[in-house]
Structure 1
Amino acid sequence: MDIDNAASEGPVTGNGVIDIEQSFLQQFSCMGTTDREELIQQLQKLLGSQLNYSTAAFFLDMNNWNLQAAVCAYFDCENPTPLPQMKLVADPFANENESLEPNTRFKKSWHISNSGNERWPVNCFAQCSDGYNLGGGRVPVPCLNPGEGFHLTVEMVGPPVPGIYQSKWRLCTSKGSYFGDPMWVIVTVVEEGAVALTNQLSHFNELGASLSANNSYNPFSPNQIHIGNNQDVAPPDGQRDSSMI
């Protein structure tokens, strides 16, 4: 439900639908707390006595304790409309950025598709819904037709402090409702120079790799004499092994 449009057009009445006034939305400007108990009380105050404690907690938790998103989700349930469907087809580069130096820029891609039966609405976007956003902002997504795919790419940057960082991304409608499969980014930020050192050690390991087990050639075998130029000749008759006769 588009609360902004409903508020600008005046109060909504009839069939038990709650009247929405402009002052209702203005109350968000003075609500900056992150305390969950306080958010539950604020949501109950905004929506009235018809919303009990457990239901308020449910809508807030479902929307990552974002008060405005919880209000939108509540009215969407009161006037339900089907959400778009999205499937994560592949995470083609899941391990490409597992080790980064601080402040390194990189791109993360996912292959997604419209798995529903309806065309995606306009103004959908992808955003970080949990964890570290890794410098990535909102990314608009096209209005995919059913069965159509798309490679979503987000430009990111590694944090300045070494450690392991997780970032959860979701698609979102213009009204603030998340939909589809979650998309993850997991990176390990290491000290400067550590990536180059790891690559050098890996190269040394390749140089010292053992010969293939399938290579059974033995230059010291009494049954074979190597004389160079890739030519192998049989030993003189007096030096033949009895097994060769």
Structure 2
Amino acid sequence: MDIDNGPSEGSGNGTMDIEQSLLQQFSCMGTTDKDELVQQLQKLLGSNLNYSTAAFFLDMNNWNLQAAVCSYLDIESSTKLPSMALVQNPVASESESIEPNTSFDKVWHMFNNGTEQWPHGCYAQCSDGNIFNGCRVSVPALKPSEDTHLTVRMTSPPQPGVYQSEWRLCTEKGAYFGDPMWVIITVVEEGTMALTQQLSSFSELGASPPAQVAYNPFVPQRSHLEQTQDATPPPGGKDMW
């Protein structure tokens, strides 16, 4: 987590301001519920802190929120997070239709848009929404400007509906970094996909049917050879008439 302490001559005052601001927020927090404490710690320290890391710092400090914040700032504040950007638009605007209990692969194309190589041990995991039975996936230690395709094997839910999932890259210590990666699917009833594909093969409603040549059984039909002879111009390229 990057913290700007201001100019060097006032660095001490900057740290004191941060601590005083946090202490003011602590005065409004008196819960002992562990899930609530994890959420409060995430709210105080920002979206880069995932659930498991927040729980780790709280447990290390006997679930004392103030002590957990101080420990995190002491350990993580000096660490610069890696940089990642998706090649495609990171904002999910389209959903995919899929039948219930169906396996599918979600692929994200990403690259290191920073100036330093990613540290070893980075991985991708679901940070919010439906996990779709997806597992944590390791990512390579990309150098600056290098790219990779991350593939996660998932399974659609059993009930029809619209589902979404947010995935993030994490450092080995559990800090989120880079663009969020979205999965949005529409689960449809079995058989609906096949019907939709069949309808898509039909002509659009109101389109004119293809022209058909009427066949008159009482008119003698000329052979292909006679038609070819009629279409062939006479020698010299001029009419004989």
Compute the TM-score of the two structures, normalised by the length of structure 2.
Answer: 0.60
Query: Could you say which residue in structure 2 is the equivalent of 1:201?
Result: 199
- SS of the residue corresponding to residue 189 of structure 2 reads coil
Amino acid at match of 2:35: T
Query: Alpha-carbon deviations, 1:117-174, whole Å to 9, x = none?
Result: 1110000000111111111110000000000000011100100111000011110001
The unaligned stretches of length 5 or more in structure 1 are 2-30, 44-55, 220-226, 234-245
Query: Alpha-carbon deviations, 1:17-59, whole Å to 9, x = none?
Result: xxxxxxxxxxxxxx974336x864xx6xxxxxxxxxxxx7422
Contact 2:122 2:138 in 1 (8 A): yes
- In structure 2, the CA distance between the partners of 1:174 and 1:198, relative to structure 1 (3 Å rule), is same
Contact 2:48 2:177 in 1 (8 A): no
Query: Could you say which residue in structure 2 is the equivalent of 1:35?
Result: 36
- SS of the residue corresponding to residue 58 of structure 1 reads helix
The unaligned stretches of length 5 or more in structure 2 are 2-31, 58-67, 214-221, 231-241
Partners in 2 of 1:102 and 1:32 — Cα distance? Answer: 36
Amino acid at match of 1:177: A
1:68 matched to 2:68: no
Contact 2:99 2:189 in 1 (8 A): yes
Partners in 1 of 2:193 and 2:177 — Cα distance? Answer: 37
Identical residues among aligned pairs (%) = 53
Partners in 1 of 2:117 and 2:56 — Cα distance? Answer: 23
Query: Could you say which residue in structure 2 is the equivalent of 1:81?
Result: 79
- In structure 2, the CA distance between the partners of 1:39 and 1:117, relative to structure 1 (3 Å rule), is closer
State how many pairs are aligned.
Answer: 180
Partners in 2 of 1:113 and 1:187 — Cα distance? Answer: 24
Query: Could you say which residue in structure 2 is the equivalent of 1:141?
Result: 139
1:58 matched to 2:44: yes
- In structure 2, the CA distance between the partners of 1:211 and 1:63, relative to structure 1 (3 Å rule), is farther
Contact 2:114 2:145 in 1 (8 A): yes
Amino acid at match of 2:104: F
Compute the TM-score of the two structures, normalised by the length of structure 1.
Answer: 0.59
**1:145-156 map, 5 Å:** 145-156=143-154
Amino acid at match of 2:127: S
